[in-house]
Amino acid sequence: MSAPQAGFFRRTLADRPFLASALALAVPISLQHVLTSLFSLLDVVMLGQVGDVAVASAALGGKLYGVLSLVMSGVGGGVAIFAAQYWGKQDREGVARVLGVGLRFALGAALPVSLLSWIAPYWLISQFSHDPALISSAGGFLRVLALGFPLAAVTATFAAAARATDAVRAPLVASVTGLCVNLACNYLLISGRLGLPALGAQGAAIGTAVARVVECGLLLSILYGTRRGAAPALTAMLRVPSFLVRRFSSLVWPLAFNELLWSLGLFIYYVVYARMGTSQLAAVSMVGPIESICIDLFVGFGSACAIVLGRELGAGRPERAYEYAWRFAVLGPLLAVLVGGVVLLLRDPILSLFDGVGAASLASGRDILFIIAVTLWFKVFNMVACMGILRSGGDTRFVLVFDVGAIWVIGIPAAILAGLVFELPVAWVFAIILVEEFAKFFIWSWRIRSRRWLNSLVGDEPA
């Protein structure tokens, strides 16, 4: 099978176990991402009631954790890939070993950053700003926030393993509980309610640190209380063979670099928009959260794809993995067409929420929302292909080269030429940047058909 063939949709819709497994994985993961985005928005709103310094402090103090979270995302991705294949192979000891490796890598990154942020938070902040008030506020924010970095590393690693081993609801329950605790603490401590002191940005940091404790503790309690696959004994996690460390490292470093360089590329896009003018940046920033929520709806679909395919590859069923890959690659964009249609229908009501924004920004935002709606389907295809299909077989180096290459070789030069050299309207620049997504669409399609990603990472282990 080189691509979807006759009877593809009939076979897909008739395969109830496949659909049930995909939805059982995708819905909780997507829901967790959407809720996280919404709760983050509420945090910003509450900090905005205190003042600009509080908002800037949280943004600046959180930058360091943002970089660390990209590294942990790479580690979690590696854990999920290996754990899914071990689970498909019905090798619980392998799951335990890869969880142990993942914890070493995650804590190896989190502990030094946490220690530095606790010892010298004001020095770190002073590298980004020279405003004494901001340094004082953001430094205090970072020092408290740093307490939760190691717990966040443990949570991310166990959550990745849990999703790959049929315990997908545990991370959702723990995350939503943590978010609610964070929101409640922020409500009480940022502005000072129920007789508590008004701590501003530091109150937000305390809320986040408390939420980290609750989320990590609850996740481990659920996993070990139910004795699911991602709850191995400590001794099992400590027995890590050297060959697994090497394999894990070779898989994870491309994932981590991919996240870092891709995020930096997106930041440069915003630098271009900012150089174009305040109105242009406002237009993109205004509709940015809408695009993020649309993408968040399909993050779970991509993660489910990686887990389902990983299990099939680990079980030694590459042909079924290939069939399932095309099912995900087709169903994702079809669902994205529906979501894009909803965005088109709600375009004007969405923009009516920004009644304080200038007419030029609103007009540009309307055009950009149209572009987002009609191109969402191939962005979702790229996400499923990159994050789900290719990574499921450990094809992370290929993904690194072409995912990062597309944004740096095609997207960024196109943005600079269109926005700063030819000074085109911001909606045109937004559309031209999507050339890199079109390029990746054809690259990923070719790679999927090549079958070179159909690799078992756990099938030839030394005795």
Q: Are residues 226 and 356 in the same domain?
A: no
Q: Are residues 280 and 182 in the same domain?
A: no
pLDDT tens across 88-112, in order?
Answer: 998 888 899 999 999 999 999 899 9
Residue 36, domain member (yes or no): no
Q: Are residues 149 and 212 in the same domain?
A: yes
Residue 246, domain member (yes or no): no
Does the pLDDT value for residue 418 go beyond 80?
yes
Q: What is the model's pLDDT at position 142?
A: 86
Q: What's the CA gap between 231 and 276, in Å, rounded?
A: 51
Q: Are residues 299 and 416 in the same domain?
A: yes
Give residue for tokens 């928005």.
Answer: 41
- Mean pLDDT, rounded, for 111-136: 84
Q: Are residues 264 and 182 in the same domain?
A: no
Q: Are residues 357 and 445 in the same domain?
A: yes
Least confident of 252-261, 319-328, 418-427: 252-261
- Which run of H or E residues covers position 45? helix 16-48
Nearest to 43 by CA among 54, 53, 29, 32: 54
Q: Which of 200-214, 292-306, 324-338 has the highest mean pLDDT?
A: 324-338
pLDDT band at residue 339 under the 50/70/90 scheme: very high
- Mean pLDDT, rounded, for 4-29: 80
Say if residue 5 is exposed, middle or buried (CB neighbours under 10 Å; 0-12, 13-18, 19+).
exposed
Residue 247, domain member (yes or no): no
Q: Are residues 208 and 331 in the same domain?
A: no
Residue 2, domain member (yes or no): yes
Residue 40, domain member (yes or no): no
What is the distance between the terminal CA atoms of the chain, rounded to a whole angstrom? 35
Q: Are residues 316 and 461 in the same domain?
A: yes
Q: Are residues 5 and 130 in the same domain?
A: no
Q: Are residues 236 and 271 in the same domain?
A: no
Does the pLDDT value for residue 6 go beyond 60?
no
Q: Are residues 428 and 350 in the same domain?
A: yes
pLDDT tens across 319-328, in order?
Answer: 999 999 999 9
Residue 341, domain member (yes or no): yes
What are 209's two structure tokens?
């640190």
Q: Which residues span the domain enclosing 26?
A: 1-31+255-463
> What's the domain count of the chain?
2
